[in-house]
Structures are given as C-alpha cells and as structure tokens.
Amino acid sequence: MYKMEKKEDTIRIPPHKLDEDLDQVAKEIACETFEGNLEDGNKLIIMATNIERLGDGKIVHGDGGIYQRVKYDALLFQLEENELIYGYVCEILKFGAFVRFGPLDGLLHISQIMNDRVEVDIGNQRLRGRESKREIGINDKLRARIVTVSVNERSPRESKIGLTMRQAGLGKVEWIKEKLEA
C-alpha cells in the first residue's frame, strides 16, 4: 500500500515569489502541486519530501514565472484489488459501513460483512448478524479485502472502493482472534 519513490517534475514559481528564497519557495510550491494528486490511475501522493531544485529554472516569454525542475521523494498510497487492508469503521449507513484505511474510505456493503442476514441499527450506529449476534460499530477495527476500485482522478478521496469480509481470515479483529484461539 505505502511506498516511497524518487521523482522529478516541473513546477511554476510565480513572479511575485522571485524575491524570496527560491529553495524554500520551490519546496512550498512542490508540496502544494504534488500532494493529494493521483498518479498512474491508482497511486495517491501523500507527501512530497526532500525537495531539491535541479539547475536554474527557465523563463517562458510572456509569462514572467520560472519553470523549475525539482526532484523529490514521494510517499505513495497505492490501491490494488485483492489487497488485504486493516481499517476502522468510520460511518454506518442503511446499506453498510464505510471503513477508513490509510487516507481513503471503502464501502463494506451489508451483503459483504458476514454469512448471516445483517440488521441495521442506524440509531445506535451498529450492524448486527441476525443469527450470529455479531456486531460492528463505529471505531471497530476490521480486516477486509479490496474487491473493486473505481478511482476518481479529480478528487481521489471520492474514489469508490468496495470491500468484503466474507472470506476466511477476514472480519472484525476480535472475531479473527476468537477463531485463532478456538
């Protein structure tokens, strides 16, 4: 999920910033430009660090700003189908639960929680198996698998990520521990 990569790219330093420390300005603009962007369709840049200017920037006629090459280390969060994730329940709705893992949320539909009919208790923010009596609520820690990824490139936080817990070794962390001890 998380990994570091070395990258190079170009940033634009506006004319009103040219009288400031260019190294510091380049760092600020690089962070604003790169952080939160999606790359290669499924890699979210969480943080840009160790930002260095490469040579002198270039001025484009009629622009007034400097186009500066920079190199940096990018902390990436990569989404992959079938990957196992650990997360916690951040919201309960009538159709399931949203699970926060890393910087994103995934939907755990009620049909993907357990092999039992799931009853929804919106008032108490709980999902409960009718026969098993197992419950999931806000802040419960879960282990799930990513089954679908539909990335929103304009707003990565709004990407649609489908999760399941209906396979062996998945579920609420307490349920997994109970099975291991049995």
Amino acid at 119: E
CA dist., res. 46 & res. 35, Å (int): 6
CA dist., res. 139 & res. 90, Å (int): 6
Closest CA to 87 of 3, 158, 177, 173: 173
Question: Mind listing the pLDDT tens digit for each residue in 125-161?
Answer: 999 999 989 999 999 999 999 999 887 777 767 778 9
Q: How much is the pTM?
A: 0.75
Question: Mind listing the pLDDT tens digit for each residue in 34-52?
Answer: 998 888 777 889 999 999 9
- Count CA atoms closer than 13 A to 92's CA, side-chain side: 18
Name the pairing type of β-strands 43-53 and 66-78: antiparallel
36 with 44: CB under 8 angstroms? yes
Per-residue pLDDT at 143: 95
Query: What φ, ψ does residue 58 adopt, rounded to 5°?
Result: -115, 140
Closest CA to 171 of 121, 112, 131, 120: 112
**In this structure, what token pair is assigned to residue 109?**
């539909």
Provide mean pLDDT across the span 12-26: 90
